Structure 1
């Protein structure tokens, strides 16, 4: 039995310096073999690592297609007997890539994503510990049936709930609405909560269709009149709105969003970082009740970034408005 390890670059692999004064900024240099060689304890895992270098790019350069291709490769590894999958990548988009994987991952074997906040040239790099913890989770029978997981700082988070909450802290990944599912304690994987998975997984859309689908994200701000949104339905197939608090927007913006919702799916989320969009508490123009009456879909507990991932996948797979509405009712 093996654990398949796919490396995608990011801070965890940035060991070299570019040319320049003082050595310049760090750049990606480490291969998967070099990464694993720097991790004490991997040899005692009890399961061999099948190391595969994939896209050595910053996570900001990853695309939906990259991640779906990776899911295909990971599925083949599982079919060949892998007990689980580990992916190392940059932390910047980790919450989005993990959710994308979770939406389409069809296997009981765990798909574990990890990274680092301190690169290997710094004192106290966290990459080796995170990689070891992720491998332990991927190899653990306790992590089966949990879908995609994010493991950093010895905490195990569900892809559905995890968020990056700080730009530099090694404790940046948290799940504000739920908390971690478990921890790695003295090398032992402890799963403390098992949330229900939303089945079945979404179908992978055709690559050409995926590339053609554009979904915008608009964060509502003070005195926002939506003047830049008027023609958005001519260029995009969907829109996610990150509203104030429980799902509110300025009254001047409400008719603009309502007109868009007549043409494309518009999903209402909260920009707050945790908590849910409400459904029927407030009734003023621009409130959640008013916006739903105008045709906006309630994003519930989904944050804006994950809502955009879900909406783009659905539209790329050919989902009509009824199917999109049903999917958000399940996932929100």
Structure 2
């Protein structure tokens, strides 16, 4: 096979894929990277050399920006053909996009995990690891940036979302996967263009948040959140709309910090000029909010966080959102 003699590093961060059921009935991360790799049927027959690294042993919900930035620096030092990162699915869509923004070069970086613990019937971790290793070792995946491999589908980090709390097919993309693993072959169907990257070694502290707009919001919660952050993502209705009662609060916040306007729908762009009522997308953009364009709120917050951690001012944040999204 074409993957023979290639080398892949498997780096474990913990998560469901590394969890086993304890005596109290709850699942916690207990398996090492060696344990995960040893449990993968058929991996040895691929001819791919696998080296393992235990980096963290945490639930996905407890990973922090500092963990991922340190991981990115570590990845850049590895002399392998590709990297597989196993972690909890709670934050895969966030960590994959963050890694996409802070790693460069052509080496494939693949993030995967599992929806079922290793103790459960039909555990999906071994199959996901095997597919991820194949993708990381493949020439086809070079230059794709960071991708998520789940259920033998290959998703671009910038598009992937977790759309179900428990299903083994929880990860989807709009407009769809960029490729598949089938009959032991990696098949890439779409090639997203490259993104600019940040240097993960030079960052400072920043705090950002997502405020999801709901029916009847009056701006009080927005104002409260604004007192504790340096940047805010607004997950608005539809194509970028909020209640009229929120307009004054958002206008004030946009004067003091970057406020990014995203849609809470999960797919589609924030419009620019279709609607003109108070609280519409054109009204909010005219008041200084920054369009997330096609980035969903979760991804928009990752980008905003990195921009603020690398000392970008409001005008630079606006320009970057135009470039990155």
Contact 2:73 2:201 in 1 (8 A): no
Contact 2:236 2:263 in 1 (8 A): yes
**Displacement of 1:131 after TM fit?**
0.1
Divergent runs of 4+, >6 A: none
Aligned counterpart, 1:284: 277
Aligned counterpart, 1:269: 262
Distance 2:302 2:259 in 1: 13
Distance 2:251 2:122 in 1: 51
Aligned counterpart, 2:185: 188
Q: Secondary structure of 1:143's partner?
A: coil
Counterpart check, 1:7 vs 2:5: no
**Displacement of 1:6 after TM fit?**
0.3
**Displacement of 1:25 after TM fit?**
1.3
Contact 1:205 1:313 in 2 (8 A): no
Distance 1:135 1:94 in 2: 17
Aligned counterpart, 1:64: 65
Counterpart check, 1:222 vs 2:203: no
Aligned counterpart, 1:151: 149
Contact 1:205 1:317 in 2 (8 A): no
Q: Secondary structure of 1:142's partner?
A: coil
Q: Secondary structure of 1:40's partner?
A: coil
In structure 1, stretches of 5+ residues that fail to align are none
**Displacement of 1:232 after TM fit?**
4.0
Distance 1:152 1:228 in 2: 37
- After superposition, the C-alpha distances for 1:125-154 in whole angstroms (9 at most, x for unaligned) are 110000000000000000000000000100
Q: Give the 5 Å matches for 1:1-332.
A: 1-15=6-20, 17-20=21-24, 24-77=25-78, 81-175=79-173, 177-198=174-195, 200-204=196-200, 206-207=202-203, 209=204, 212-332=205-325
- After superposition, the C-alpha distances for 1:279-323 in whole angstroms (9 at most, x for unaligned) are 100000000000001100011110001100000100110111221
TM-score (norm 2): 0.96
**Displacement of 1:34 after TM fit?**
1.0
Distance 1:54 1:140 in 2: 24
Contact 2:147 2:155 in 1 (8 A): yes
**Displacement of 1:231 after TM fit?**
4.9
TM-score (norm 1): 0.94
Distance 1:92 1:233 in 2: 26
Higher mean C-alpha displacement, 229-238 vs 93-102: 229-238
Contact 2:82 2:109 in 1 (8 A): yes
Distance 2:267 2:114 in 1: 23
C-alpha RMSD over aligned residues: 1.1
Distance 1:28 1:293 in 2: 48
In structure 2, stretches of 5+ residues that fail to align are 1-5
**Displacement of 1:236 after TM fit?**
1.3
**Displacement of 1:206 after TM fit?**
3.4
Distance 1:87 1:149 in 2: 10
Q: Secondary structure of 1:71's partner?
A: helix
- After superposition, the C-alpha distances for 1:253-279 in whole angstroms (9 at most, x for unaligned) are 011101100010000000111111111
Q: Secondary structure of 2:36's partner?
A: helix
Distance 1:234 1:287 in 2: 24
Q: Secondary structure of 1:118's partner?
A: coil
